Amino acid sequence: MAHLAPSAAGSSTGKWNARYIGPVPHDARYYTVCILAGGLACGVTHAGMTPLDVTKCNMQVDPAKYKGLVPGFRTILAEEGAKGFWKGVGPTFVGYSLQGVCKYGFYEVFKDLYMNLAGEEASRKYKGAIWLAGSASAEVIADVALCPLEMTKVRIQTSAPGTFPVPMMAALREMSRLRAETRYPFGAVVPLWSRQIPYTMAKFFCYEYIVSLFYQHVFTAPKETYGKTTQLGITFASGYLAGVVCAVVSHPADSIVSLMGKPANKGKSLGAIASEAGLVALATKGLGTRVIMIGTLTGFQWWIYDTVKTAAGLGTTGGH
């Protein structure tokens, strides 16, 4: 079907349809590319950040021992060697690949669905609300896919050397064996939702908003007149800035997820863990490291995602 102008875009009947208002139609091929691009973007970036993640999790769980990013690196290196930085990389890659498939793929689906439910006028007027609703809906599904592997990853990274298996399959079996203690496989889904849903809402809303600001106030010519390199540079910058907001918004819940993996907190409720740690500690311990990690990670996620979309002829996200 030929693409129609935004004012007339729609189905074969001519009725307005959000799936046809962009540069390319949002058909089955479009959603498939987004699903694959999202899985690649999240899996590769989270796996690459494993050394920072290991350090950050240990800073949250044992701040007296891991006093900061550099001291934490030194402690891990002294006690476990370089291999200590890559603990949990297997479940990280698999878990966040599954999460990315659902997060990005379902975001595109839900965004179009909610725009069509709202109609043309309301979609323009309340586009921010649609970004938030679409991303939140997608993340609910994405976290169910991520949860078992995230729980396993945290347990691997925060257990004392020699007390818990490090290889992914052995660790998954051990988590299952100890399910009464670990609450595997979905015991952490509620704190994951509390961390990831605000994070993803901020990530997608801020990205869409920031990239639109770039094209409105900095790169003011029509978007299609800029080369792929420039568009992907705007994608990365917008993603990085969005990631900084995400890190701050979601850090307290991220701290609770990490503390749940600590053996001393076995059987404690989320409220008890939060109360013992204190709000200030939950909001600040490891935050600087997480800002660096999430800003960089989110910037590269959007860059990889849009690079794949561009290679498939679908263009970059946002800014139309």
**Average pLDDT value for the chain:** 89
DSSP 8-state secondary structure symbol assigned to residue 315: -
Helix, strand, coil abundance in the chain, percent, nearest 5: 75, 0, 25
Q: Model confidence over 134-183: pLDDT tens digits? A: 999 999 999 999 999 999 999 999 888 889 999 999 999 999 999 988 89
Between CA 38 and CA 32 the distance in angstroms is 10
292: tokens are 């660096």
SS3 10: strand
pLDDT over 80 at 284, yes or no = no
* DSSP string computed for 154-191: HHHHHSPTTSS--SHHHHHHHHHHTHHHH-TTTTTHHH
pLDDT of 9 above 70: no
Enumerate domains of the chain plus CATH numbers: 23-311 (1.50.40.10)
Give the pLDDT score at 4: 39
Q: d(Cα 49, Cα 89) in Å, to the nearest integer?
A: 9
Q: What percent of the chain has pLDDT over 90?
A: 65
